[in-house]
Chains A and B, each alone.
Chain A
Amino acid sequence: MTIADSPNSSPRLDSKVPGGPMDERWSRHKFDLKLVNPSNRRKFDVIVVGTGLAGGSAAATLAEMGYNVKSFCIHDSPRRAHSIAAQGGINAAKNYKGDGDSVHRLFYDTVKGGDYRSRESNVHRLAEVSVDIIDQCVAQGVPFAREYGGLLDNRSFGGAQVSRTFYARGQTGQQLLLGAYGAMNRMIHAGRIDSYTKREMVDLVVVNGVARGIIVRNLVTGEYERHAAHAVLMCTGGYGNAFFLSTNAKNSNVTAAWRAHKRGAFFANPCYTQIHPTCIPRSGDYQSKLTLMSESLRNDGRVWVPEKEGDPRAPQDIPESERDYYLERKYPSFGNLVPRDVASRNAKTVCDQGRGVGPTGEAVYLDFGDAIRRDGKDAIAARYGNLFEMYERITGDNPYEVPMRIFPAVHYTMGGLWVDYNLESTIPGLFVLGEANFSDHGANRLGASALMQGLADGYFVIPATIASHLAGRQLEAVSTNDDAFKEAEAKARERAEKLLACNGNRSVDSLHRELGNTVWNYCGMERTAEGLQEGIAKVRDLRAEFWSNVKVNGDPNHVNQDLEKAGRVADFMEFAEVMFNDALVRDESCGGHFRAEHQTEEGEARRDDENFAHVSAWEFTEEQKLPTEHREQLTFEEVKLTTRSYK
């Protein structure tokens, strides 16, 4: 019996977590897995959707192993996937600093940081392979920061009390992604990967219960294409743009995941969203996205608001005694470095009290005055120069002279398609990697662990676990002329035609913006049962408004960015309701999910481990109907469930 076969788990959710001691599970599992003989690998076609860290690393590695890989991305080049925008760094339990780090500590910190809502075995595996990721990336020539002795530099990041974060100035994501892109390019050049750019996955094709292909729309010609394979990997990122304003790239979307969900993949924990505390506040209603400022700023910047409500004075005119450094006051041991969920919620609290700053009152100060006096302007410029420059470009303020204004923004989504220990979804043959799955971060992700997870899944997990499917199942030949492919393509075409035929009065953006406001107001940093119910009603109305009043112009047989957006927003409209429902059913506070009904006297999240130490995974039933909830009970053998305290 596997560990998660607990009586409380749905029989549909077999996590396939191996038994035995935690630190032996992954190696044991790898040994137990079937293998695909090297000479047989060329007989298998694998589709990889998405070319971010997860997709790029998976495509390259599977191709190196000998599989035939078809890679798809919506961009004009695989290098532009949104992983590229990650700034801060990537964690690994190398203990190069000798400050007591270990695989166990990284594992422990990640389970705790996720507020005990992740699967222990998955997290342990993540911590184990973290060290291999760094080796791999360095060998590829990723230019990580180095010390004068020529060895790699590390920093402490995102509330970690050890220095385990590897970084490449403020663009770690870009450098890691270019490493994976290089590895992909090598395989493209060798004819082992067929790369399809400017293709959007618009449906998953399931044949006899197994994922056997995808339908994509060519975003340049408007043509629909059918692609068949023995397995499909979805590495399509998160759903943060349900909020319209987020730090996600504009083209990030939930469509591929949502289409797979409607074909039978369960969606797990959609209410877990991460609101990042250090973003540049919005300035007006034309705002198209929010910009993240690296969390590393909190290493030297001090967060404060005026003591008094509605204080009209400029920050430099407010004396020390009338400033409230609320994080340092409330959390003396972590201070400004508390985890993201805690920092964000506290910013909201002080703004709700009327102590927010700036023209909208929705911002707090991040002040480098003390750091500049202590270390000098040059030292601060060396550390954060590029970030200060970016801030100045966007706001017109000089952060060397006036404190930055920051406010939380949606940044990452911990929920995603449900996967077992092999990263296989509830549809056999469909694997989900990176941010698109739900598995490793629980209810809150720690800084510098998204890059780690994406690369762990792609470089080290899937290359081993995909054999469970390819060698473990009888896979008959399929053709793209099969009915399942025809049906899926017809459906996708019909949907696009319906969007073009609406011919209403409202732009896609205006409807998306309204959806985003609703999601932010009712399912954002603080949620209540009443608000969520109200939000659901609003989302339904808005969905009806969308389908009756959206206006999409232009040619369906050429580049049509409006049509692309419309398809994605239509999916966000459906997805949002599941997100609200999940938040409603999870009647506790944990990590990024804060239900106002469940808080301690000090306003901290109050978990309910007795009733909610489980994953909620939603099964699609039919259009306009509520999905069915399934539960996977989480068991904790290594880490003791305690109240997360950063005081």
Chain B
Amino acid sequence: MIQKKNHGDLRIVLEVWRQNGPGAPGAFEEHEVMANEHMSFLELLDVLNEQLVESGKEPFVFEHDCREGICGSCAMTIDGKPHGPRDRTTACQLHMREYRNGDRVRVEPWRANAFPVVKDLMTDRSAFDRIQQAGGYVSINTGSAPDAHAIPVNKENADMAFDAAACIGCGACVAACPNASAMLFTSAKLSQYTLLPQGQPERDQRALAMVDQMDAEGFGNCTNHYECEAACPKGISVTNIARMNREYARATLRRRN
């Protein structure tokens, strides 16, 4: 029997995904938690886990760290929406004032072949790292940089580059996409460098390498549903995907061999 802690009068029935590993079968488990409106959604899961631990049961595994919406660790689909019901909000920044007494809430991991479940709500997102490793950088050794003011950048471009660079790498775009496409993620990084003078020397090579790696990881293609933009907690725009397509086409045409 699970000892319930009473943190308020908001009764929430949680259905949380339990799965022991990538190949193991999974299922939803139902639990009740008493919450209050100031609690964050992850604190709700903390309370649930504490109840489970004290009752001798295994707590649910979920990734989290900064709990300020910037590290990109937390990753869960809440009632069918990556990161839950509130726009531009990571799961860690979602608060229980979005819910009413008696609500049933379903929590599950990102669903995508390229993000296999590690345990419960935790998935393996290392595919994102490999896409970045393929070319998501400017090749410059430490110590060889010119003075920062030697490279002026048009403010409009600088702002657009920043907007793209705001991606936190959480994977919500993939989870939201019916094709589990990683094009929003990949295009955001690519756009940051395409828009800046620093990114020009490696422009073609970067576009080809990152897109090829993205495909190799088994992510699907973009068919313009725009679910990614809607789910993105940082509001990364789908115009980045259009830019990536142009960049890829341009690089392909310019390819010398």
Which residues of A are at the interface with B, using a C-beta cutoff of 8 A? 57, 60-61, 64, 75-80, 82, 84-85, 94, 96, 132, 134-141, 143-152, 168-169, 171, 173-175, 178, 181-183, 185-186, 188-189, 195, 197, 220, 249-251, 283-289, 291-292, 390, 393-396, 459-460, 463, 505-510, 551-555, 558-559, 561-562
Contacts and interface: CB of A to CB of B under 8 A. Distances in A.
B154 interface: yes
Interface stretch (B66-74, B176-184, B214-222, B240-248): B66-74
Interface in B132-173: 132-149, 151-155, 158-159, 161-162, 165-166, 168-169
Interface of B: 5, 7-8, 20-21, 36-40, 42-43, 46-47, 50, 52-54, 56-59, 61, 63-73, 86, 89, 93-95, 97, 118-119, 122, 124-126, 128-129, 132-149, 151-155, 158-159, 161-162, 165-166, 168-169, 192-193, 196, 198-199
Given A75-B73, A509-B46, A57 B93 contact: no
B153 A394 contact: no
Nearest to B47: A286
Contacts of A174: 70, 166, 168
Given A82-B65, A507-B50, A141 B196 contact: yes
A79 B148 CA distance: 24
Contacts of B169: 77, 79-80
Contacts of A463: 142-143
Nearest to A510: B50
B57 A553 contact: yes
A75 B38 CA distance: 28
A201 B216 CA distance: 32
Q: For A64, A137, A146, which residue has the most chain B Cβ atoms within 10 angstroms?
A: A146
Contact of A287 (B8, B43, B56, B198): B43
A243 B231 CA distance: 34
Given A84-B71, A178-B165, A286 B126 contact: no
A544 to B, nearest CB: 20
A139 B149 CA distance: 10
21 contacts: A64-B141, A75-B71, A75-B73, A82-B66, A135-B146, A138-B148, A141-B137, A141-B161, A143-B158, A143-B192, A145-B162, A150-B158, A185-B133, A220-B118, A288-B42, A288-B43, A393-B89, A463-B142, A553-B52, A553-B58, A558-B119
Contacts of B38: 283-284, 395-396
B71 A140 contact: no
A137 B141 CA distance: 11
Given A76-B73, A249-B66, A554 B58 contact: yes
B137 A80 contact: no
Contact of A140 (B39, B73, B140, B143): B140
A91 to B, nearest CB: 14
